[in-house]
């Protein structure tokens, strides 16, 4: 008799975990998936092109309803799980229905952070997290006007570019001195800023939003340093926090996220967690590569294999048309590292490689990031680069020729 596997969450991590279970343990589990959104699985990373008008919802669906049926997976969309009865091993829906499980996976993702500002609850203040957010932003863009994006990280800049592509006048407000400070060094961030400003996006850095202005609807924002900017739409893109509320209510060990071991087990051996809701070795991940690696390890463990999740370096790319950017590993470096830099401001090209001994440990590429995967492979493998050190900054073709 097949074991009952219940998956709470139909996002990218949850559905990848289902795929891995089907691949590594075919026929072992009767799988039921619950998704709070009314859609089958879709690629959340592609929401930015949808906002920009380059794609529509149909283009980003990764698993249509026929896929679930063909693979014997029972899917409930638009259905929230409101409680877990661990003693009875049952997941309980908001409607009070109970679904028994032998194994349970939390794949509940994350919540967008909403700054507790005066006026944050006004109509016209949105996050950028799911299809409903994109539809609301697109509707606002069709009315035209001025948009402010609070947050100059990866997601904020993608939102700003998409809104501008839809015809809005856009400003980006960022607390830190430079854009994408978690992925870029100062020189690459400056090139990025100049390109965005050339496109007509206003950039405000080293400023703190004090309040969102308006009564019935937003009219702008006010800075703590003084000054105001008018707006018809405010998008908060200041980060996410793990959605661990249900796990916490179930009595599982939770800090920032759901605590898991290397096999993605929670404090209850019958319950696992994967994706952005997870805290593993003190770290919560938000990029897709580690989430997929978690799913693969979890699938292996549920198949009875000796599988474990081991964190690896991750790479970042910005999904803004015409801007080529790549970042990976420890691009900051320190006293025990050496920088290799190529800078051509006239062409808008910049490369910085960080070496520790004879190993590549970090890379930032701007303006021409075609060699990013090659550098990333060197970084992940830990391969000795001593023989190509003098030519490394110029990329694989030059190294091969040399």
Mean pLDDT score of the chain, rounded to an integer?
94
What pLDDT is attached to residue 74?
98
287 pLDDT tier (thresholds 50, 70, 90): confident
What pLDDT is attached to residue 2?
94
Q: Which residue has the tokens 């994350």?
A: 110
313 pLDDT tier (thresholds 50, 70, 90): confident
Least confident of 47-51, 152-156, 259-263, 328-332: 328-332
What pLDDT is attached to residue 19?
98
Number of helices (H) and strands (E), helices first, in the chain?
Answer: 11, 27
CB 231 within 8 A of CB 221: yes
Per residue in 294-312, pLDDT (tens digit) is: 999 999 999 999 999 998 8
What pLDDT is attached to residue 64?
96
Q: Is the dihedral of CA 95, 278, 182, 199 positive or negative?
A: negative
What pLDDT is attached to residue 327?
94
Q: How many residues does the chain have?
A: 402
171 pLDDT tier (thresholds 50, 70, 90): very high
Read off the pLDDT of each residue in 184-198 and give the average, rounded to a whole number.
Answer: 94
User: What values do phi and psi take at 9, rounded to 5?
Assistant: 125, 125
Read off the pLDDT of each residue in 33-51 and give the average, rounded to a whole number.
Answer: 95
Structural domains of the chain in order of their starting residue, each with its CATH number:
3-111+240-302 (3.50.50.60), 125-236 (3.50.50.60), 323-401 (3.30.390.30)
**pLDDT higher than threshold 70 for residue 100:** yes
Q: Is the dihedral of CA 46, 51, 53, 59 positive or negative?
A: positive
Read off the pLDDT of each residue in 32-39 and give the average, rounded to a whole number.
Answer: 96
Least confident of 70-74, 77-81, 192-196, 333-337: 333-337
Per residue in 349-363, pLDDT (tens digit) is: 999 999 999 999 999
What pLDDT is attached to residue 317?
83
**Which tokens sit at 88?**
């009875």
**pLDDT higher than threshold 80 for residue 321:** no
Per residue in 119-169, pLDDT (tens digit) is: 999 999 999 999 999 999 999 999 999 999 999 999 999 999 999 999 999
Burial string for 28-66 (b: 16+ CB within 10 Å, else e) reads: ebbbbbbbbbebbbbbbebbbbbbbeeeeeeebbebeee
What pLDDT is attached to residue 381?
92
What pLDDT is attached to residue 280?
97
What pLDDT is attached to residue 215?
92
Per residue in 374-402, pLDDT (tens digit) is: 999 999 999 999 999 999 999 998 888 76
What pLDDT is attached to residue 402?
64
**Three-state secondary structure call for residue 240:** strand
**pLDDT higher than threshold 90 for residue 10:** yes
Share of the chain above pLDDT 70, in %: 100
């Amino acid at each position: 008799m097949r074991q009952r596997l219940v998956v709470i969450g139909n996002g990218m991590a949850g559905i990848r975990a289902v795929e891995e279970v089907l691949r590594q343990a075919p026929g072992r589990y009767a799988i039921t998936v619950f998704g709070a959104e009314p859609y089958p699985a879709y690629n959340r990373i592609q929401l930015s092109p949808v906002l920009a008008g380059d794609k529509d919802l149909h283009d980003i669906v990764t698993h249509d309803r026929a896929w679930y049926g063909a693979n014997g997976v029972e899917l409930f969309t638009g259905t929230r799980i409101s409680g877990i009865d661990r003693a009875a091993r049952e997941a309980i829906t908001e409607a009070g229905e109970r679904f028994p499980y032998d194994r349970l996976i939390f794949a509940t993702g994350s919540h967008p952070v909403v700054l507790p500002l005066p006026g944050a609850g006004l109509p016209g203040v949105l996050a950028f997290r799911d299809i409903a957010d994109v539809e609301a932003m697109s509707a606002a863009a069709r009315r035209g006007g001025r948009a402010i994006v609070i947050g100059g990280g990866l997601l904020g800049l993608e939102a700003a570019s998409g809104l501008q592509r839809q015809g809005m006048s856009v400003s980006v407000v960022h607390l830190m001195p430079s854009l994408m400070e978690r992925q870029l060094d100062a020189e690459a961030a400056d090139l990025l800023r100049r390109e965005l400003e050339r496109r007509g996006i206003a950039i405000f850095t080293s400023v703190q939003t004090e309040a969102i202005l308006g009564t019935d609807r937003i009219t702008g924002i006010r800075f703590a340093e003084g000054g105001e900017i008018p707006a018809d739409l405010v998008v908060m893109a200041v980060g996410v926090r793990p959605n661990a509320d249900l796990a916490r209510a179930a009595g599982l060990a939770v800090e920032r996220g759901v605590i898991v071991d290397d096999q993605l087990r929670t404090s209850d051996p019958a319950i696992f967690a994967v994706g952005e809701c997870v805290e593993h070795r003190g770290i919560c991940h938000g990029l897709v590569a580690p989430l997929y690696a978690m799913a693969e390890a979890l699938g292996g463990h549920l198949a009875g294999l000796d599988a474990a999740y081991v964190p690896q370096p991750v790479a970042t790319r910005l999904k803004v048309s015409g801007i080529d950017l790549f970042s990976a590993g420890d691009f900051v470096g320190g006293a025990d590292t050496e920088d290799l830099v190529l800078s051509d401001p006239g062409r808008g090209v910049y490369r910085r490689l960080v070496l520790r001994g004879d190993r590549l440990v970090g890379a930032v590429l701007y303006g021409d990031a075609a060699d990013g995967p090659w550098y990333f492979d060197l970084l992940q493998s830990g391969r000795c680069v001593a023989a190509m050190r003098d030519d490394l900054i110029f990329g694989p073709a030059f190294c091969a020729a040399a």
